[in-house]
Amino acid sequence: MASSSPNMLTKFESKSSRAKGIAFHPKRPWILVSLHSSTIQLWDYRMGTLIDRFEEHDGPVRGIDFHKTQPLFVSGGDDYKIKVWSYQTRRCLFTLNGHLDYVRTVFFHHELPWIISSSDDQTIRIWNWQNRSLICTMTGHNHYTMCAQFHPKDDLVVSASLDQSVRVWDISGLRKKHSAPTSMTFEDQMSRANQNQADMFGNTDAVVKFVLEGHDRGVNWVAFHPTLPLIVSAGDDRLVKLWRMSETKAWEVDTCRGHFQNASGCLFHPHQDLILSVGEDKTIRVWDLNKRTSVQSFKRENDRFWVIAAHPEINLFAAGHDNGVMVFKLERERPASAFYQNNLFFITKDKHVRSYDFQKNVESPTLLTLKKLGSPWVPPRSLSYNPAERAILVTSPADGGSYELIHLPREGSGSADGSDTKRGQGNSAVFVARNRFAVFNASNQQIDIKDLSNSTTKTIKPPPGTTDIYFGGTGNLLLITPSAVHLYDIQQKKSVAELAVGGVKYIVWSNDGMYAALLRKHNVTIVTKALEQVSTLHETIRIKSATWDDAGVLLYSTLNHIKYTLLNGDNGIVRTLDQTVYLVRVKARTVYCLDRNAKPKILNIDPTEYRFKMALVKRNYEEMLQIIKNSSLVGQSIISYLQKKGYPEIALQFVQDPQTRFELAIECGNLDVAVEMAKQLDRPKLWSRLTTEALAHGNHQIVEMTYQKLRQFDKLSFLYLATGDAAKLTRMAKIAEHRGDFTARFQNALYLGDVNDRIQMFKEIDLYPLAYMTAKSHGLTEECESILEATGLTEDQITLPAVGSPLTPPKPVVSTFKANWPTKATSQSFFEKALLGQVEGLSLEDEPVPTSHSFGFDDAGEEDGTKRNGALAEVDDDEDAAGWDMGDDIVPEVESDFVNVDSAEAGGAGSSEADLWARNSPLAADHVAGGSFETAMQLLNRQLGAVNFDPLKPRFMEIYEASKTYLPASPGLPPIINYVRRTVDETDPRKVLPIIPRDIESLATNDLQRGYEAMRGNKLEDCALIFKGILHALLVNAVSTASEVEEAKKLVTSACEYSIATAIELSRRKLGSNDEVAQSPEKLKRSLELSAYFTIPKLEVAHRQLALLSAMRLSYTNKNLNSALSFANRMLANGGAAKMLDNARKTKAQCERNPNDALEIEFDQFAEFDICAASHTPIYSGSPFEVCAFDGSKYHSKFKGTVCAVCKVCEIGKNGSGLKLVA
Amino acid sequence: MDPFSAEGELLNLHNYFHQGQFQEVVDFDAVGLSKENALPARVFALRAQIALGQAKDVIADVQGEQEPELVAVGALAELAAGNESKAGKIAEKLAKESGDNSTVQVLAGTVLQAAGNNEEALKLLGNHQGNLEAVALMVQIHLQQNRTDLAVKEVQAARRWAQDSLLVNIAESWVGLRVGGEKYQQAFYVFEELAQAPATSSIQSVIAQAVAEIHLGRLEEAEAALQQAVAKDPIQADLLANSIVLNAIAGKDTKELKSSLSSIAPEHHFLADLHEKSSLFDKAATKYSSKVAA
């Protein structure tokens, strides 16, 4: 088959005699074909099967049509007959007779119960098929009428005849006459009665409206446009003519020239501005309706075309030729699309590139138009998206295959038409790395690897016969040949793996890039990224598309279903589809897809089934349990599924029926359940199966029971012997004796080693020789003699064989019978336990919150402090799991956004970047990162009066460590050292600056929170360390904006306050235990003072409340009621947790009765003062003090010149230029 | 024909070596190679052995060999075995006698550079006639000397005649990581492509990918890449060094990593540097003290 168009896609072909008429079913995938051989065939073109044949016509059948809604079709043949058929009952319902020559075409009316027919008798007739009568005969043509059709909406008919004319008829009169009147006049009745007769006098039922003349030969076919006032006709003059009509006139618009033989059929494309025509020149031609130029043509080698038909809804056409029918589409309907994370990129029908956001479920406006790509009627074939460059690669089959590389506009809306487009020739193009793409050219069998400037960097010769390429994981391609798929390594230029799967059409990668699905027409093969086959499945219906869900389940769509398959090939139906869609993404219960009009659609699915199966495969029992609990999945099907898939122990949980339960229990070796079921059923067969199973398990107790049930005494005896159960063996002997079963008795006696019993038995059955021998061999002389006596023989008279040693039964080594062997534990899976509710881990509740809080001042109180604190914890937010949680934290939200730090100085080439840093920045941190510690120290000394650098050493080293990376390069040489920048986008060596770890953001979000936590948790040593760390980190740091400087300063102050506070409280605790303190008035005084000072630093309110609470309790217990009162008042003023306020209120009430202090302390609640960070004594306002230039902690002036107690770095009172954090 | 060109039979060997897949080089089946390629193949195998830490074996292997290539390999092995002066002497001699031999250029150049003899090394390497390895080496030396401008030139020149060759890409990425800005991302692409394709992945390329990501400020991704490298070989010195850097940047504790680095590679540049800086700090800190002792 030669085709000049790459786009015409044949969907179905049949072999038969000449096809003269075709009709599509409007809903089902059916097509009726009327043949020259008198047969009418009904095909399912989707499955490719012949559904039925109708053979009642005599001679060729030319006209055929389905009824739009009813299960009817009509046919007209050379036997002058019009037949109406039911395809349900598969027979002809009735025949309409009247035509006097061949019937050429028959069509149903779209709403009225009418049929229109055209015939070689030069008439057009309209029939009512409900009352099976002829209602109108239209005469006027003076040669064969070849075709007559109703207008799809208006009361018009168009007809074509070999008289070279096309006629348009107005049949509104006919409709008026036959529309059901409410009241019938006499005339009406008359006319209705006479309607069957051709009206000889000016028949007004159907009048010729226009006669269109233009064809030079007979006209074979004519058709209305579905919406526009246009008509197309095809004639023996090899022309296809387009006509336009208005209310009053009609005229020829243009002619489509191209057929070089009689044009036999034509029609308008139902949705696009196209005309299709067929001819005896063996071609199907497609014309542009607006330009009347040829768009495509398709030629068959040997078959002349006779008829063409269009599906009313979907993009399908059928053409009948000398040897059958072909159903085809003009173009691929798969919208080109690609998705990345939460965005789908796709190309609409009018070649606009759009994106769709899965999260917001919104479609973007047009990002780009691709009007220039390919030819107007050829849609793009594929789209490949490059997230790094935000570029797309679009291929089009037009002009022998071409591709375009276009950058999407950055700001969504600007619908650029791709001015920076790079183009080239190629059949497929895909991105293979973020800066490379591969272009495959089928004609010269070559793959070019190109960079983003569209220049070829590498050329690859693919394996012969390659038809398509797909992305194959980074640096790899998947090459598709007709018989295999190759995984091709671009670097090594060779195929690293090959899998013999033929006819692969599409490849879909899983989201994690571990698996790929190879889609064929009817198969899906799942492979790993190394191209090892995992599973494959077959579908009878065509597979259209596939996508992976995040859990690794492949969902694929066929023409009418969405199905799933697990990696192990387990598959099933998810839902049905009423129209074909192309899946692009699955998220939880939502499937995103594109329909054939390239509109994003959202379908809801129930993923329970595959999630359950998936959980089963992964043995994720928790999820299974969850699913079982929450959905109505459990049924017979799931049980048999579980059993089939080798999960009897799970299936067991669902089954009630004892028989099935027994089977499952045996299968999974759950003997307890098996016994239970066997007891219920009590059938020998089950018992014996149980025996076998129990024996295999070594569970002799069950074996014993089953033998008893089965009354298998011999086996039972042997079992007792084997287990060494002598007592029961004796009983068995008794039973045997009782039963009179001598063999059994002998056996038991043997097992027991009971000689006497054996002799006795032999005697009983008159086997004296054996009895004698037994006695003799066991040396029982007396017995021997008595036997001899009884038989009347003497020893001389008998000849004895040599007597062996007596047989003694072995002594049991272990008393096995006492207990079972340690049998294999019945496989009680996690799942079962979970089902039985034994697993607590499943509950989602957290562990109970530990409530261990201790704070020294509690022991003297009347209440138990722990309890109270615990109670507070309950009252408060749950995040405060430990320690003192007393309200919400007010934490400064620090936002940091690095902006390039400006610098002034210039650097030169040849010096390392580390040196540049020091030059580029006046910040100590940058000097540290550059390794220039001396200058960094100088800077700090000047800025902040830093003198004691030892505490900063860890910070210095930390910054320095973070400054360089080690890139392994040429073997044998040390790695290349590169310098890590915080100015990532900067390349100007004068502006680059180093990365400084633990920036202000991380300090505020991590360290500060940890500090608060330590505070809450009453871990004051940790707390002090953390805040010191924060101070040191801030001392040597860099930020980018002025607002961040403010943040940093706030953070410094806050860290300073906390450091002082913790230092005060820690020094109070160092005074000794509460008892010790209570004994020494001096210490008690200091203790009370310190606890009061503890309330001074500006902590977060919640933490201050703690300090106040502590101070209040201490004062109260030591009868400093006045102080306690002031603390209580402050607490109440602060507000916060209700419990604590309650407490304060009570204390307040108590104190107000006697507001006096028992012990005078240096704490004036009404005075303004700060705390000296070194001596922890008040600095009243007005008195001289010194500060630390860095953290701002205050000191009595006597401390001037010493190292700051808070930061431990700076010299007190040495004023510098201040902390510098931004360059 | 250049045996390392795209069509040459040594391409794979060459690529393996420069992708850091040394074991693959050693395992490479050289039987099917044509005669003139046998020696280069052997040189590659020996170099890979050295890179795998089997320098002693290589010394024994090339003992008494006369071909300058093998002598140069011997020098490289001596260097790896720690006999720097001996290696240096051999290399200098070779540079004089057979400076136009491309293998000698690369190997002796490596030795000279490692011995700190930058100029000699560059002079020797400058003799090359379209030898990418020499170019790569020169690029590295330039970078080590902080002459990014020269390195850029070198790469651009090589790009003109070697197009998309692996080594050019790699060398360009080295330079890119120094230049920064958009080049970070491009370097990242190259390393990621190497590191993530199963056929080309090696610990070296994974580390390089991680380094690029560190420079790009993508710490989580860098961590993931380093984890991937750990899976390949948990005790690689450069891996540990970069892990320390990453942790330091992320503000995490690095003590443990440092101690494991010092146990496996006590002479690693990172540690030496850190040690030097530590003493520098102590020295510098003594210059300052408070006026009044506390």
pLDDT reported for residue A185: 54
Whether chain B has a CB inside 8 Å of the CB on A270: the answer is: no
* pLDDT, tens digit (0-9, with 9 covering 90-100), for A1185-1217: 888 888 888 888 888 888 888 888 888 887 777
Whether chain B has a CB inside 8 Å of the CB on A908: the answer is: no
Whether chain A has a CB inside 8 Å of the CB on B160: the answer is: no
Q: Is A1045 exposed, middle or buried (0-12, 13-18, 19+ CB in 10 A)?
A: middle
Average pLDDT, integer, range A830-837: 52
> CA A469 to CA B35: how far, in whole Å?
37
CB pairs under 8 A between A and B: 231
Q: How far is A474 from chain B (nearest CA, A)?
A: 6
Give bridge partners of residue A32 from the DSSP assignment.
A23, A42
Whether chain A has a CB inside 8 Å of the CB on B177: the answer is: yes
Q: Is the ipTM of this complex over 0.85?
A: yes
Percent above pLDDT 90 for chain A: 17
**Closest residue in chain A to residue B44, using alpha carbons only:** A971
Write down the residue that tokens 């007596």 correspond to.
A806
Contacts of A948 in chain B (CB under 8 A): 288-290
Which amino acid, one-letter code, is at B27? Answer: D
Q: How far is A947 from chain B (nearest CA, A)?
A: 5
The shortest CB-CB distance from B249 to any of A909, A946, A997 is to A997
Q: Residue A701 pLDDT more than 50? A: yes
* pLDDT, tens digit (0-9, with 9 covering 90-100), for A136-150: 999 999 999 999 999
Q: Which residues contact A1048 (CB under 8 A, 6 or more apart)?
A: A1000, A1034, A1037, A1039, A1219, A1221
Q: Which residues contact A6 (CB under 8 A, 6 or more apart)?
A: A397, A400
Q: Residue A841 pLDDT more than 90? A: no
A975 and B241: CB-CB below 8 Å?
A: yes
pLDDT reported for residue A196: 46
> CA B42 to CA B72: how far, in whole Å?
13
Confidence tier at A631 by pLDDT (50, 70, 90): low
Contacts of B251 in chain A (CB under 8 A): 958, 997-998, 1002, 1006
Which of B137, B277, B282 would best serve as a mutation to test chain A binding (most A beta carbons within 10 A)? B277
B245 and A457: CB-CB below 8 Å?
A: no
Whether chain B has a CB inside 8 Å of the CB on A897: the answer is: no
Confidence tier at A637 by pLDDT (50, 70, 90): low
A980 and B180: CB-CB below 8 Å?
A: no
Higher-confidence residue of A163 and A613: namely A163
Residues in chain A: 1223
A970 and B137: CB-CB below 8 Å?
A: yes
Three-state DSSP class for residue A215? coil
Tokens of B158: 């090589």
Residues in chain B: 294
pLDDT reported for residue A199: 47
Contacts of B241 in chain A (CB under 8 A): 966, 975
Q: pLDDT below 50 — which residues of chain B? A: 1-3, 6
* pLDDT, tens digit (0-9, with 9 covering 90-100), for A758-797: 888 888 777 788 888 888 888 777 888 788 877 777 777 7
Whether chain B has a CB inside 8 Å of the CB on A955: the answer is: no
How remote is the C-alpha of A482 from its chain's centroid? 31
> CA A494 to CA A501: how far, in whole Å?
19
Q: Residue A1089 pLDDT more than 60? A: yes
A965 and B214: CB-CB below 8 Å?
A: yes
pLDDT reported for residue A234: 94
Most confident of A117-126, A661-670, A748-757: A117-126
A986 and B180: CB-CB below 8 Å?
A: yes
Which amino acid, one-letter code, is at A481? Answer: T
Confidence tier at A79 by pLDDT (50, 70, 90): very high
pLDDT reported for residue A795: 72
A965 and B242: CB-CB below 8 Å?
A: yes
CB of A674 within 8 A of CB of A697? no
**Closest residue in chain B to residue A968, using alpha carbons only:** B204
B50 and A971: CB-CB below 8 Å?
A: yes
Higher-confidence residue of A797 and A1121: namely A1121
> CA A641 to CA A617: how far, in whole Å?
12
The domain locations on chain B are 131-179, 181-294
B248 and A958: CB-CB below 8 Å?
A: yes
* pLDDT, tens digit (0-9, with 9 covering 90-100), for A856-902: 344 333 444 344 444 443 434 444 434 443 433 333 333 333 333 33
Give the CA distances from residue A1162 to residues A1106, A1169, A1179, A1180, A1198, in Å, rounded to whole numbers and listed in that order. 21, 12, 11, 11, 19
pLDDT reported for residue A872: 41
Confidence tier at A822 by pLDDT (50, 70, 90): low
- Give the H/E segment covering residue A741: none
CB of A1096 within 8 A of CB of A1168? no
pLDDT reported for residue A1081: 82
pLDDT reported for residue A83: 93
Average pLDDT, integer, range A1090-1095: 86
> CA A1223 to CA A1040: how far, in whole Å?
8
Whether the model pTM is above 0.90: no
pLDDT reported for residue A876: 40
Query: Can you say whether residue B96 is alpha, beta or left, with left for phi > 0 and alpha for psi between -120 and 50 degrees?
Result: alpha
A492 and B216: CB-CB below 8 Å?
A: no
Sign of CA dihedral A151, A157, A161, A166: negative
Please provide the average confidence, as pLDDT, over all residues in chain A.
81
pLDDT reported for residue A225: 93
Contacts of A998 in chain B (CB under 8 A): 251
Three-state DSSP class for residue A321? strand
State the DSSP string of A572-596: EEEEE-SS-EEEEEEETTEEEEEET
Least confident segment among A176-185, A510-519, A692-701, A973-982:
A176-185
Whether chain B has a CB inside 8 Å of the CB on A984: the answer is: yes
Q: Residue A834 pLDDT more than 80? A: no
CATH number belonging to the domain at B181-294, selected among 3.40.50.300, 1.25.40.10, 1.10.3720.10, 3.30.365.10: 1.25.40.10
Whether chain A has a CB inside 8 Å of the CB on B117: the answer is: no
Give bridge partners of residue A49 from the DSSP assignment.
A44
Contacts of B186 in chain A (CB under 8 A): 435
The shortest CB-CB distance from B197 to any of A476, A913, A998 is to A476
The shortest CB-CB distance from A1211 to any of B114, B144, B291 is to B291
Which of A434, A459, A460, A961 would best serve as a mutation to test chain B binding (most B beta carbons within 10 A)? A961
Q: How far is B284 from chain A (nearest CA, A)?
A: 6
Tokens of B223: 């961590």
> CA A664 to CA A660: how far, in whole Å?
6
b/e sequence B120-133, b meaning 16+ C-beta within 10 Å: bbbebbebbeebbb
Whether chain A has a CB inside 8 Å of the CB on B147: the answer is: yes
Within 10 angstroms of residue A886's Cβ, the number of other Cβ atoms is 28
pLDDT reported for residue A1177: 86
* pLDDT, tens digit (0-9, with 9 covering 90-100), for A318-364: 999 999 999 998 877 788 888 887 888 888 887 888 888 888 888 88
Whether chain B has a CB inside 8 Å of the CB on A473: the answer is: yes
The shortest CB-CB distance from A475 to any of B193, B251, B273 is to B193
* pLDDT, tens digit (0-9, with 9 covering 90-100), for A211-269: 999 999 999 999 999 999 999 999 999 999 999 998 888 899 999 999 999 999 999 99
